[in-house]
Each structure stands twice: as structure tokens, then as C-alpha cells.
Amino acid sequence: MKNRILIIDDEEAIGLSLAFALEDHYEVEVTTDPRAGLNWILKKTFDLVLLDLRIGKVDGIDILREIKTLEPDLQVVIMTAYGTIDSTVEAMKTGAFTYLTKPLKLDILEKTVQEALKARKVVPQTEKLPGENLKYGIIGKSRAMQEVFHYIDKLKDVDTSVVIEGESGTGKELIARAIHFAGKRRDKKFVAINCAAIPENLLEEELFGHKKGTFTGAVADKMGRLEYANGGTVLLDEIGELPLPLQSKLLRVIQQKEFSPLGSNQTVSLDVRFVAATNQNLDELVEKGAFRKDLIYRLKVFSIKIMPLRERVEDLEPLLNCYVGECNRKLDKNIRGFSSEALKLLMGYSYPGNVRELINIIEYSVLMAGDELIRVDNLPINVQQRGDRPKNPQMQGDIENLAGLTLQEAEKHLIVAALEINEGHQKKTAKMLGISERGLRYKLEAYGLKQ
């Protein structure tokens, strides 16, 4: 099967000539529209991108960043007639494989393509996923994730504001990007703003921009992130951390669809789709006086709940296999799977850090593996010991008495036993059983065990 190459260049003649030079050995697609190229990357599998540094008024470095967000391991070769030291360094820092100056020499191009594809390596068998496990570039076999995909289908082509809720590390930004890149705004910008990562005194300027002379050091006009995203989608990540004064200003922006940069009397019309993400309970923040209820009404027209990894066990094995493949490429290893004992431990672990923790565990294990299999000794010590599910003789005795019970009876029996072991402490009980406290409360009520 031929490797697939995507060429993104605003000069159609150059793109077609490159395709002609490469098509004998590779499957090549060409576009002059960088947004169309990003959409193709979202929907198709490519092994290499040849990307122009200047695509009309679009900066190729910005497109490179978006490519690396969608497909971190996809090799990108930057092409430009504007070769400078600064742009070369910036391209390499952003993740480009290398940098070629136009006019391209055919022998150098062919050699570079071969080297880039060799560096990417062939995807190992462990990473090949059945089609039903993957949608919008997101792995999700469980019923919970299939429901999320259904919501994305419904939301992608409308402008309804959405709040994505879930624990840290569950992939909220991935869902937001899927809504954008699969929908009608896919050809416009997606801008993520982390409300918790930007100091409060700088966040307003970051959102709205400023005019020259507004304050000491404002030596030029600065475009805010909202204006930069005009026509596209804005993700307000960790929205629960947005300071109250900025909440009122954001509310007005959403209502009026306009704003003024700091120090300006001129208004900027705004056409963006707002998506917010949070790992906090916004209703509880409202009760504490830390969040405006009217802003929730504006943002939370629709909500998507991302369940923690411990509550969608069906997704574990596809995720484990996928990230083994990614770590193989990153660490130049050739791990093809897990020993049965190691897989059992990984499948039984509760992943309090969710997918982010799973990735770290796999990278550590791939690095430590001495042969083609990840074994128990290669796993992090907390996974080996399964400290979140302590062994207990009383619990073991209860397990041995489950034969002949229905699944519901067995589950109720285990919950009662775990509550007794933990002296009625629900948080500890939930941790032992590998479910959330909310999930435990639901089961207690369903089985008539509510305390």
C-alpha cells in the first residue's frame, strides 16, 4: 500500500507539479486551501504533509500548529521561498520534520520525503483499530463515547453554545475540536483559551486586545483572541476559573455579539461559536457566588458529559494499543503488545488521571520494556500494586460466595461488602470499586441501599 502525502500550497501549479513528481511512488492529494487540508487530515489518514510557509494571507506556522494538534505524529515538511533563520527555527520548534527552500530540487525533495516517512515508521499491529472504535479522530468503543459521538453529529453544524463537562484528562478539548472541525465552521479558526493558565490581570487583554497607548508598554495595537477567532470557534477551557468581572463582560459579548478592545471606543462585530469546558460543577460555583447563573444560561444551552475512563472500561484496550503504537514511534521501539498479566493489571486500574495518565503509563512501560511485550515489571509501581484496589481477605471471601447469583445480585453483594470494609465511607468505597462517587450513589439508590 502506497504512503499518502498531502500537499498544501497556495500556488496550484506548484502543488500539481510536486504531485506529478511524487505520484509514481506515493498517493498524493493537493489543495490550495489550508482549512480544507485540515479537514482532510481530520477525516483521512496521511503519512506526510508538504506545507507552504505562506499560503495567501495565512501563516503556515499556524497551520502547522493545528496539524500537530490533530495528528501529533504526522510528519510535516515546510516549503518556502522566504527562507529565514527565524522562520526555520520557529517551524522546527513547532514540530516540522525539516525545512525546504523553493524552488525545490527534485532529488532533495525525494530524499527528504523518504527520510520523513522512515522517521514516521509503519503503524504496528497493536495500533490498528476497528472502524467502530474510532470517530472524529477519537477512540471510543463504549456506549458512553458512542453517545458523545451522537451529540457531536447533532451539534457540529449549528451555532448552539455547548459546555463540555468531565474530569481532568478525559479529553474535553478533543471533543470541542471535533465539533469545530467536523462542522460548518471547519474552514475558520479554532481558538482555545485556558482561563486557568492566564493570569487574571492579563486575561482581559488576551480576550479583547488593546489599542496602542492604552497602558505603559502598549506600543502597538494588539488583536484579542476573540477577534482573531472571528467566524470560527472559541473554546473557553476551565471556564469555572474565569474571574467574576470578566464573566459579566463575556456575558455582554455573547448577548450583543460585539465588544471593544481595551482603550478603544470602536466596537468589533463578533461571529463565533462558544464552547466551554470545565472539570468543576458550575451549579455549585453559582451557589458559592463564584459564577454567574445568567452566564451559565447563555453558555450551557447544551451540555456533554465525558465519563471518566474507569467508567468506560470498553475503551481501555483500544486506547492502550493505540498509545503503544504512538510511543513506539516516539521512542524508536517495537513493542507489539502486553503479557496477559500486565494487561490484566492495566484493565483493572482505575486511572484517576484518565486518558492523560494512561498515556504516561504507556510511555513509561514502553520505555522500560526489554523485549516485544510489556510485562508486569515494566509497569509503574502504583499500577503493579493496584494501590487503588487494596486486597482484603474479607473482600476475597465475599467474591468466592458470588457463584450462582445474577449479575445485579453479585454487584449489590460486592457494594455491601465494600461498604462494610470501609465502614460506610462512600469515597473510599467508590475508590475500591473503581467507580465515581456519583456512580456509587446511583447504585445505592437503585439497590435500595441509600444511606
How would you label 42-66 residue by residue, b for 16+ Cβ within 10 Å and e otherwise? beeebbbbbbbbbbeebebbebbeb
| Residue 305 reports pLDDT greater than 90 | yes
d(Cα 219, Cα 183) in Å, to the nearest integer? 38
Whether residue 103 has a cis bond before it, omega within 30° of 0: yes
Ramachandran angles phi, psi of 277, nearest 5°: -135, 145
Closest C-alpha among 428, 418, 431, 351 to residue 383: 351
> What tens digit of pLDDT does each residue of 22-74 get?
998 999 999 999 888 888 887 777 889 999 988 888 888 888 888 887 777 78
| Residue 425 reports pLDDT greater than 70 | yes
Q: Which helix (H) or strand (E) holds 417?
A: helix 407-421
Characterize the bridge pairing of strands 302-306 and 162-166: parallel
Could you tell me if 37 and 49 are in contact, meaning their C-beta atoms sit under 8 angstroms apart? yes
Q: Which H, E and C letters describe 199-238, residue by residue?
A: CHHHHHHHHHEECCCCCCCCCCCEECHHHHCCCCEEEEEC
Q: What is the pTM of this model?
A: 0.61
The pLDDT assigned to 84 comes to 52
d(Cα 309, Cα 306) in Å, to the nearest integer? 9
Could you tell me if 110 and 50 are in contact, meaning their C-beta atoms sit under 8 angstroms apart? no
| Residue 136 reports pLDDT greater than 90 | no
- CA 405 from centroid of its chain's CA atoms: 41
What's the pLDDT band for 148 if we cut at 50, 70, 90? very high
| Residue 364 reports pLDDT greater than 90 | yes
Half-sphere exposure of 196 (CA within 13 A, CB side): 11
Could you tell me if 306 and 169 are in contact, meaning their C-beta atoms sit under 8 angstroms apart? no
The pLDDT assigned to 216 comes to 79
The pLDDT assigned to 132 comes to 52
| Residue 86 reports pLDDT greater than 60 | no
> What tens digit of pLDDT does each residue of 329-357 get?
888 888 989 999 999 999 989 898 999 99
What are the structural domains, with CATH classification, of the chain? 4-120 (3.40.50.2300), 143-306 (3.40.50.300), 310-385 (1.10.8.60), 393-446 (1.10.10)
Average pLDDT, rounded, for the chain: 84
As a whole number, mean pLDDT of residues 363-388 equals 87
Characterize the bridge pairing of strands 134-135 and 337-338: unpaired
Characterize the bridge pairing of strands 268-269 and 258-259: antiparallel
Higher pLDDT, 243 or 392: 243
| Residue 121 reports pLDDT greater than 70 | no
| Residue 231 reports pLDDT greater than 70 | yes
> What tens digit of pLDDT does each residue of 246-272 get?
999 999 999 999 999 998 888 999 999
> What tens digit of pLDDT does each residue of 206-222 get?
899 888 888 877 778 88
As a whole number, mean pLDDT of residues 178-203 equals 89
| Residue 137 reports pLDDT greater than 60 | yes
> What tens digit of pLDDT does each residue of 87-102 get?
666 777 677 888 888 8
As a whole number, mean pLDDT of residues 290-305 equals 94
d(Cα 46, Cα 138) in Å, to the nearest integer? 16
The pLDDT assigned to 292 comes to 95
Sign of the C-alpha dihedral computed for residues 32, 36, 39 and 40 taken in this order: negative
Give residue 256's region: left, alpha or beta (phi > 0; psi -120 to 50).
alpha
